[in-house]
Chains A and B, each alone.
Chain A
Amino acid sequence: MASAPPVFDDDMDPSHLAELDFGTAFAAPTDCPDCGSSRLTAQDAGDRTDFSCDDCRAEWAFRLGRIVRVTAGHAVPEPR
């Protein structure tokens, strides 16, 4: 008769956690942080790529893992 499979003890002690969440780290932006629209268009901004919201016209840039508004939106439609 096969032995029971081992039970993984989630209380590893001591333990330190590293989440290797590269999916989030590498994902392209999907939603406008202002209006929530998913209609983001990548734009050549000279020496970088910015993202423009097709709905509210806000423009966003990614800086070393952080996002910053380049241009504020003019119209904020109802969130989808």
Chain B
Amino acid sequence: MTEPWAATGGPRHGGVADDRVTLIDGSTFCISERDGRVRAGHAQGLFVRDSRYLSRWELRLDGVLPEPLTTHGKEPFGATFVGRMPPQPGLADSWLLVLVHRFVGNGMREDIELRNLSREPVSCVVTLDVDADFADLFDVKGGVAGAKGTVSVGRGDAAIDFTHDAALPQGVRIESHGAAEVSGRTLRWVAAIPPRDSWTVTLETQPFERGEPLPLRHPYGRPVEHTEPARSLREWRERGPRVNTADGDLAAVLRQSVEDLGALRMFDPEHPDRAIVAAGMPWFMALFGRDSLLTSWMLLPIDQRLAIGTAQTLAAHQGAVANPVTEEQPGRILHEMRFGQSAALALGGGTAYYGTADATALFVMLVGELRRWGLDDQRFKELLPHVDRAMTWLTGDGDPDGDGFVEYRRATENGLANQGWKDSWDGVTFASGEIARAPIALAEVQAYTYGAYRARAYLAGEQGDDDARRYWSGMAAALKRAFNETFWLPDRGWYALGLDADKRPIDALASNMGHCLWTGIVDDDKAPEVARHLVSPELFSGWGIRTLATSMAAYNPMSYHNGSVWPHDNAICAAGLMRYGFVAEAQRVAVGVLAAAREFGHRLPELFCGFDREEFAEPVPYPTSCSPQAWAAAAPLLLLRTLLRLDPELPQGRVSCDPVMPARYLPLEISGLRVGDDELTIRVTEEETVVRGLGTPPAQRRRPDG
């Protein structure tokens, strides 16, 4: 599991081992072992603008790896790896301390210090073995080794140069500031250290693109600036909602959610006031349409800023023309975009890529939900035209064969083969394991489209446009009928994962139908079967609902999308179960995921392995999982809302709250919850629920047996 950055504020909690350190600055990040080593053949290295510039980095003293002691650092871009020379045989103690101060940013700088703590002089041979393969970031993440093209190694004065002969020439220079011998891929020094003294050397790793060096953010000779928490700079802190609970783990998870989402905050240079977040660290430090839409949805009861900023930003970059290279289409909401001059290098020429089947419908759903939470008229009027363009896409380019289902097929070989959230190349398979062939109409995409139709109908009704309300309500009803007729597999008792190119139902049992419960597209008479399957041993691991059932041929609990557990997926499924009244099932999923959070130090990762809880007492990490990940960080907030059964209709002056919190979290009080012009306090005990802040006297409800 990747640790976001070295040694954050408090001690880690829980039994899951952390064995990686990740440092990050802009589009540069470095993943290493806890001792600072970058091991060849692993998903580790120094990455700059999506290429790996260092694939090996191993420091040795007299041929031996230093023994790691600890890792220090509060900076996201820097850490100090503290180690010692292993003791001589027969001795317990060592006299040689090894300090490696590492800083990343457009490359890397490392200050190595050997400190002789003894009263005798010490001499040792220091070697650094390095390598560079210029592999693509996502190839490394996916376990594909090496780069295309040849890599040559050259020798400079106390430096090693790697050059990648490819369409976009790349290079990297590793230079020692301090005399060094160079042999192949090894730098070598002889450190003669007087008693109680130290020896230092600085190394700069500087990438080159098209022959031009990138300017190091922390060059040799310049002191490294230290950071402060951004929140500490604000003298006046806006008071947000507060949750007070008997369960310390729940409180810790919620606090971590705030910290992690704040850490993922991005800034559009043209609109820095619009709150947006990157999808996840380190692999997805960009704006992703689907991820940011779902993340901001999950926050809505607590905060609207992210939803508003996200909707405004995605609207500003909504597709306007047809471009098969980027898969832009008029009205389409983007899949991924990056800001800044270097964005084009990362996305192969453009700043945005539009190959997603679900973000457009989710955008409409979000605007509708924002309005239910009281979005002001001015911003609503600015967003409404974008909503209508999105509706045009859903009923036009999004459904090219006109069968009523939104489907996808990539426009070029460079696009994503799968354009739902399970976007692995093998993320959509039949029960037999056969990979489905595009165009594919995914079940959850129809669910979101149904949600979009209903949202548009709601917005129309709210504006007094009865014709539009009837039209979109009719579209929703028609889609629901068609979906239930076409996707339901009566002999299986579950919904098809999707329809393939030949309109065959993709018959795998997967978590996707939980999203169908969420938006309400599932017929009432089919919901019990869906609920039963979602919490069956085939899907529910004890920690959460797996992406794919154990009985499916493609099931692999250690895979990205075929048997793993994703917190955001579970939060949506739990919300869906609760919507249809499956309270015990929803509670079971929520409690399982929150229990997993505890084992990950209260920070839910992007995903974890789908092994059964009865087999492993702790959830097994997925090795290249992002952490923090935005929608995983937001998932506990959706789980909280689900258990509170909190639903707004602010334009109509209504809010409903009917908690079914498990007893372990009680008593629980959420205060300062802003709902329109009111500030609510909701207090839940085992005997009753009291809501204060909406009129006098406070609404009070006792449990039937109380």
Contact = CB atoms under 8 A, between A and B. Distances in A.
Interface of A: 2-3, 5-6, 8, 12, 14-31, 33, 42-49, 51, 62-70
Contact of B240 (A22, A28, A43, A51): A22
B496 to A, nearest CB: 38
Nearest to B231: A24
B681 to A, nearest CB: 7
Contact of A18 (B28, B251, B683): B251
Contact of B246 (A16, A18, A48): A16
A58 to B, nearest CB: 11
A27 B305 CA distance: 9
A69 B237 CA distance: 22
Among A5, A8, A19, A43, max chain B CB count under 10 A is at A19
15 contacts: A8-B669, A18-B258, A19-B240, A22-B240, A22-B302, A22-B305, A23-B237, A25-B231, A26-B305, A45-B340, A46-B342, A48-B339, A64-B24, A65-B259, A66-B227
A25 B26 contact: no
A51 B270 CA distance: 12
Residues of B in contact with A, size category: 35 or more
Contacts of A14: 246, 248
A66 B261 contact: no
A42 to B, nearest CB: 4
Contact of A24 (B75, B237, B248, B340): B237
Interface string B215-229: 000000000011111
Contacts of B681: 8
Among A27, A42, A66, max chain B CB count under 10 A is at A66
A26 B340 CA distance: 20
A23 B305 contact: yes
A22 B257 CA distance: 10
Nearest to A21: B240
B272 A66 contact: no
Given A19-B242, A22-B240, A22-B303, A62 B267 contact: yes
A16 B230 contact: no
Contact of A69 (B25, B225, B692): B225
A21 B254 CA distance: 10
A10 to B, nearest CB: 8
B230 A17 contact: no
Contacts of B306: 22, 26
Contact of A68 (B227, B275, B343): B227
Contacts of A22: 240, 258, 261-262, 299, 302-303, 305-306
A26 B365 CA distance: 22
Contacts of A48: 26-27, 267, 339-340
A6 B254 contact: no
Contacts of A20: 240-243, 254, 257-258, 302-303, 637
B529 interface: no
Interface in B4-25: 4-5, 24-25
Given A15-B245, A15-B246, A18-B245, A66 B240 contact: no
A5 B699 CA distance: 10
B269 A49 contact: yes
B241 to A, nearest CB: 5
Contact of A46 (B26, B258, B698): B26
B242 A17 contact: yes
A1 to B, nearest CB: 12
Contacts of A28: 267, 272-273
Among A31, A46, A70, max chain B CB count under 10 A is at A46
A16 B251 contact: yes
A71 B245 CA distance: 44
A6 B699 CA distance: 10
A24 B238 contact: yes
Given A12-B244, A33-B233, A26 B275 contact: yes
Interface string B250-267: 111011011101111111
Nearest to B690: A6
A46 B340 contact: yes
B230 A46 contact: no
A66 B594 CA distance: 27
B272 A26 contact: no
A39 B262 CA distance: 23
A62 B238 contact: no
A23 B340 CA distance: 25
B212 to A, nearest CB: 13
Given A20-B637, A25-B261, A63-B25, 13 more contacts: A5-B696, A8-B681, A16-B244, A18-B245, A19-B242, A25-B262, A46-B26, A47-B49, A47-B340, A48-B26, A49-B266, A63-B227, A67-B233
A8 B47 CA distance: 53
Contacts of A15: 244-246, 667
Contact of B265 (A18, A44, A62): A62
Nearest to A31: B233
A8 B683 contact: yes
Nearest to A16: B251
Contacts of A26: 261-262, 265, 275, 303, 305-306, 309
Contacts of A16: 244-248, 250-252
B244 A67 contact: no
B700 interface: yes
Among B4, B24, B267, B338, max chain A CB count under 10 A is at B267
A64 B243 contact: no
Contact of A49 (B227, B244, B254, B340): B340
Nearest to A15: B244
A24 B257 CA distance: 13
Nearest to B238: A23
Nearest to B673: A20
A36 to B, nearest CB: 10
Contacts of B692: 5, 8
Contacts of B5: 64
A2 B698 CA distance: 11
A22 B633 CA distance: 13
B4 to A, nearest CB: 7
B239 interface: yes
Contacts of A30: 234
A70 B4 CA distance: 22
B238 A18 contact: no
A78 B685 CA distance: 53
B303 A49 contact: no
B341 interface: yes
B4 A64 contact: yes
A60 B580 CA distance: 49
Contacts of B259: 25, 65
Nearest to B246: A14
B77 interface: yes
B314 interface: no
B697 A5 contact: yes
A19 B303 CA distance: 12
A69 B667 CA distance: 44
Given A22-B261, A23-B238, A62 B230 contact: yes
